[in-house]
Each structure stands twice: as structure tokens, then as C-alpha cells.
Amino acid sequence: MQHVSIDDVEPMAMGADIDRRGLSDPLSTENLAINHYHLEPGERLSGSVHTHMDQEEVFLVIEGEATFERLDEDDVTVGAGEAVRFAPGEYQSGGNSGDGGLRVLGLGAPLGSEDVRVPQDCPECGNDNLRVVPAEDGEGFDSVCPECGAEVGGD
């Protein structure tokens, strides 16, 4: 058994100044990514609409209301005590569009998603979903076309 207090885990922002605490390592999970988010009004769970081609995600709202944007579909609002699931390949991005704090538990399976995509056109071949990869300098992200291999600058 593993036990951890969320308050004892250091926040890790991944390019944004938000309170995101990864619980997978402290709990030694082998097949499940677990993240706890505490967002102020206007803050987002991720930088933009994206999908994990190799991972399904579930978000459980503990406190407040989260609004999830979906590609070419209406937004979905999820309140405290509710959960939402996104299948692999389903584009989404969530955040706190309310007036108060938002606490969310994000779960992803399997652990270690390696194929994250954004709905952006490749300037070389026109493919409409680029793969997001960490920048070589360790600062931010770049995009690579999974069809033709073209590299596109990122954040």
C-alpha cells in the first residue's frame, strides 16, 4: 500500500503557473496517471485543446465547476461530484471558467502517454493533427507531423 497527502506533493506546472500535483510517482502507480489540480478562475488544466491518442482520461470534479472545450462540439460543464471521460483520440481542454476555486482529479490510463496531438495543420503536407513533443532545449514544446515528419516550432 502507498499513502500520500496531496499537500506534501510539490506542484509541477508543465509550462503553466498552476497548482498541478502529480500523484502517480508518490503512489507508485504502474498503469494509471493521477494528477490533482487546484485552479483559480481563468486557469486551465492544459494549454490548449489536445488529445492523447494512446490514453483515455477521466476528470473528477471535487470542488467548483470545470468547463471542457471539445473540438467541433459544444462545451461541457462538469460540477462537483461529477466526472467526465474522454476516449483516446477525443480532443478536449478544460479549465475554470467560474468565479471560485476548482479542484479536479485527473486520471489517465495507461500511464505515460507518449502520443499527444493538437488540431493544427502541417505546413508541408496539410495533415490536420500534429504530435506534441518536448522541445530539445527543455523549454516548452514543439510539434512534429506524424505523416511527413515536418518539424513545426511550438510554445
Q: Is the pTM of this model over 0.95?
A: no
Q: Evaluate whether residue 114 is within a structural domain.
A: no
pLDDT for the residue 154:
60
The three three-digit cell numbers of residue 14, written as one number: 508543465
Nearest to 16 by CA among 49, 43, 50: 43
- Domain of 85, CATH number, reads 2.60.120.10
Query: How many CA atoms lie within 13 Å of 85's alpha carbon, on the beta-carbon side?
Result: 5
Which amino acid would we find at residue 91? Answer: Y
User: In 3-state terms, what secondary structure has residue 141?
Assistant: strand
* Domain hosting residue 141, numbered range: 120-152
For 39-90, what is each residue's pLDDT tens digit?
Answer: 999 999 988 899 999 999 999 999 999 999 999 899 999 999 999 999 999 9
Confidence of residue 26 (pLDDT cuts 50, 70, 90): very high
Assess whether 34 and 66 both reside in one domain. Answer: yes
